[in-house]
Structure 1
Amino acid sequence: MDSSVLSVVVVAAALLIKTAVVEIRRPGSARRQWAFVRDSTAVAGGAVVGTVVLCVGWAQARHGALAWALLVAVLTAYLLHHRKPRS
């Protein structure tokens, strides 16, 4: 396994463990935290950013670029969803 892919796996695992620990302390928090998956605007923004990262990095890193693009896409969608003004 490429070392860059391994670092993405470690970051993703840390985020999932954090979500699980917070869910144990405050039930229902994971559903609110992962609500960005149902937000089409946030998902579209994440897909665009992930595609750009993949296109820029593909020639150099191949599968490492794919792993990083997926992580960047998810984090971007999360940020886009949570930056929206709440009504």
Structure 2
Amino acid sequence: MNGPASVLTVAIVIAALVIRTALAEMRRPGSARTQWAVATNARALTAGALTTAVLGLIGMQSYGYGAAAWAVLAGALVALSLDKRTPGE
């Protein structure tokens, strides 16, 4: 796994998520707060942190620091998927 190329790919995915949030915010003010309310959900954050830790440890032993960036992205996506709030909350 090429470290700099791997980190660049993760940065592009994160930038796409941020752009998606910004576009939604321009269309409907206040929607960004709803999309990223996962930061206040302890259960989702714990699962994301645990995923990041496990994948980071396994990945860094095998592939180096590029895997750590992927572990952080995977942890964030796990946390987002576990957040069970309805759009109105």
**TM-score, normalised relative to structure 2:** 0.87
**1:56 aligned to 30, 55, 58, which one?**
58
Deviation at 1:50, TM superposition (A): 1.0
Gaps of 5+ in 2: none
Deviation at 1:31, TM superposition (A): 0.2
Sequence identity percentage? 44
**Alignment RMSD:** 2.0
Distance, in Å, in 2 between the alignment partners of 1:52 and 1:61 is 14
Gaps of 5+ in 1: none
Distance, in Å, in 2 between the alignment partners of 1:63 and 1:82 is 32
Q: Post-superposition, which runs of at least 4 consecutive aligned residues in structure 1 deviate over 4 A?
A: none
Corresponding residue number in structure 2 for 1:79: 81
Q: Deviations over 1:35-74 (max 9, x none)?
A: 0011111000001111111111112222111111111111
Corresponding residue number in structure 2 for 1:70: 72
**TM-score, normalised relative to structure 1:** 0.89
Q: Provide closer, same or farther for how the CA distance between residues 83 and 65 of structure 1 changes in structure 2, counting only shifts above 3 A.
A: farther
Q: Which amino acid aligns with 2:84?
A: H
Distance, in Å, in 1 between the alignment partners of 2:27 and 2:20 is 11
